[in-house]
Amino acid sequence: MSHFSTNSIHGGDHLKTTNDVITPIHITTTYAYSNNPEELTPGELTNPNVLIYSRENHPNAAQIEAIVESITGYPTVVYNSGLGAFNALMTHVNPKALAIGDGYHGCQGIADIWKRNFGLKQIHIDDDDDKAWEVIKPGDLVHLETPLNPYGTYFDITKYAKKAHDRGALLSVDATFAPPPLLDPFKFGADIVLHSATKFFGGHSDLLAGLLLIKSKDVKGQLLLDRLVLGSNIGNLESSLLVRSLRTFELRVARQSRSAETIISFLNKHKSRFSHLEKIYHGSLQNDEFINEQMPNGHTPVFSIELQTIDQAKALPSKLKLFHHATSLGGAESLIEWRAMSDNHISKKLLRISIGLEDPRDLVADLVDGLLINDSNEENELVEEISKLIV
């Protein structure tokens, strides 16, 4: 049995179709059948070794699935985006009722389309009223996002798994903010796990992709047949970028997680010096008991801060030198987003921050610069503190 970073480089070697060390970019949409009539076998549409048409399968898509399977141990299907994966999940489960929480507004958007088109009933996942939960019946879906976008806060998967299973429903977990090795939602009762691979799996802000992880190979076969007709397979070019990204996956996530913890703990320790800084949201600041077990390998590299006024929140990104003011997360470069730009349901005082691979001391210094209000003594003291950080 080899380990995470070995698998992330070699987990798809058995599917290689050439002797290139790096699986080449295949731009073809169609593959020639064998000239030998004896070798023409119909019905192989979900076999990763059989190449017919790139909407069905192509070498780098097969590589991604094999690599993620070898890292996580769960059958995996890759899609052309995280929302493509959520749509596939809804299509597969076909719930008549859905319990869904706050979190990424795009998943809620898909649920609303299902409500409009098929009369999907919805309840909030944190509705405490037992009567409200009676709408959730066997075969329905409970969809939990943890860590929660945009805050980076944690929810107890075991608790929601029980809620779902008590009603005969399935629990899906969107773990985009805590990719492997940070979190394995299956260990706590999840039935299906979703990742926007656009984020940490991709890690370079240059591709869109989504993943569904499931517990059975049969379900994988059904998802592959659905994907074939929904047209939601990952594209040829993006898939080769994602295979490239997986080679450094563990290193990147571990470093981003460690840096985020260092930065958040620094900001939290010196919070009183930043008079505009109202609140920091992040799982590392929660005291719930389940967290040590659920997040054994580090915290999510994403967090949010709330400033006192909307104008302060709008202005902060323009004061920073190392953080791009942009949406998304999980890339090598750190990002900050005045979240109202892409989510119109969120507080306008909120900024979401994704920690990249820069040195955390430089990132803290940049944030301190942006958050301090003209006090050079204080700045000097904090610069001294930053130099003592162990990274």
Ligand X SMILES: Cc1ncc(COP(=O)(O)O)c(C=O)c1O
Q: Which residues bind ligand X (CB under 6 A)?
A: 81-83, 104, 106-107, 145, 149, 174, 176, 196, 198, 208, 210
Q: Phi and psi of 49, rounded to 5°? A: -85, -10
Q: What's the closest the beta carbon of residue 210 comes to ligand X, in angstroms? A: 5
CB nearer to ligand X: pick between 62 and 335? 335
- Please say which residue, 102 or 358, places its beta carbon nearer to ligand X: 102
Compute, in degrees rounded to 10, the torsion defined by CA atoms 259, 261, 264, 266. Answer: -80
Residue 194 exposed, middle or buried by CB count within 10 Å (0-12, 13-18, 19+):
buried
Give CB contacts under 8 A, 24+ apart, made by 372-381: 372/273, 372/274, 373/275, 373/276, 378/273
367: three-class secondary structure by DSSP: helix
Angstrom CA distances, 270 to 264, 267, 351, 378, stand at 10, 5, 18, 11
For residue 268, give both structure tokens: 């939290």
Half-sphere exposure of 255 (CA within 13 A, CB side): 17
**If you count them, how many residues does the chain have?**
391
Q: How far is the CB of 50 from ligand X (least distance, A)?
A: 27
262/300 with CB nearer ligand X: 300
Alpha helices in 187-235 (DSSP H): 217-230
Nearer to ligand X, 196 or 239 (CB): 196
First to last CA, the chain: 31
What minimum distance in Å lies between the beta carbon of 48 and ligand X? 23
Angle at 235 between CA 243 and CA 47, to 5 degrees: 75
C-beta closer to ligand X: residue 83 or 120: 83
Nearer to ligand X, 219 or 326 (CB): 326
Nearest to 86 by CA among 102, 68, 109: 109
Query: What is the DSSP secondary structure assignment for residue 205, as one 8-state letter?
Result: S
Q: Which is nearer to ligand X, 195 or 244 (CB)?
A: 195
Inter-axis angle of helices 310-319 and 360-371, to 10 degrees?
Answer: 140
The residue (of 153 and 198) whose beta carbon lies closer to ligand X is 198
> What tokens were used for 246?
């997986």
Q: Name residue, tokens 């050079």.
A: 376
Q: Is the peptide bond before 181 cis (omega within 30 degrees of 0)?
A: yes
Cis amide bond preceding 150, omega within 30: yes
Q: How far is the CB of 283 from ligand X (least distance, A)?
A: 14
- Considering the complex, what minimum distance in angstroms separates the CB of residue 354 from ligand X? 10
Nearer to ligand X, 300 or 312 (CB): 300
Q: Which residues pair with 307 in a beta bridge?
A: 277
The CB-of-46 to ligand X minimum distance in angstroms stands at 23
Nearer to ligand X among residue 51 and residue 241 (C-beta): 241
**Shortest approach of ligand X to residue 87 CB, angstroms?**
10
In the complex, what is the shortest distance from the CB of residue 226 to ligand X, in angstroms, rounded to a whole number?
A: 17
CB of 196 vs ligand X, minimal distance in Å: 3
Q: C-beta of 266: minimal distance to ligand X in Å? A: 25
